[in-house]
Structure 1
Amino acid sequence: MKNKTYDQLIAELKEETLKLSSDEISMEQAMKIFEENIKRIQLAKEKLTEYKGTINKVLEDNKIKEFN
């Protein structure tokens, strides 16, 4: 799961969340999906933090210097 992209994690979250609305899902299955989704959310947050760091680095490295 750790090697997945942010978009893949979000797609899986959506798919698994839809399963929770099924009348045929057991409480045990629902809990397993819930636990896995918590892991996905944490990984997605980590990915966003990485992206933010990369964006900030690019912006910092490419600052336009004033022409004197």
Structure 2
Amino acid sequence: MENKTYDQLITELKEATLKLSSSEISMEEAMKIFEENIRRIQLAKEKLTEYKGTINKVLEENKIEEFN
């Protein structure tokens, strides 16, 4: 799961949410999906933090200075 992209994780979260909406799912399966989703959310958050760091680095390295 760690090698998935942010978009893949979000897609899986959406799909899992639909499964949880089903009245035909057992409590055990719902708990398994819930636990997997918690991990997906953690991984997605980590990826967003990485993206933010990369964006900040690029912005800092390419800072445009004003001429006086």
Measured after TM superposition, the shift of residue 47 of structure 1 is 0.2
Runs of 4+ in 1 over 4 A off after TM superposition: none
1:8 and 2:5 aligned: no
| 1:28 paired residue number | 28
| 2:54 paired residue number | 54
Q: How many residues align?
A: 68
Where does the alignment leave 5 or more consecutive residues of structure 2 unmatched? none
| 2:45 paired residue number | 45
For 2:18 and 2:60, the matched residues in 1 are separated by: 41
Deviations 1:2-50 (A, max 9, x none): 0001000000000011000111100000000000000000000000000
Percent identical residues:
88
Where does the alignment leave 5 or more consecutive residues of structure 1 unmatched? none
The normalised TM-score by structure 2 is: 0.96
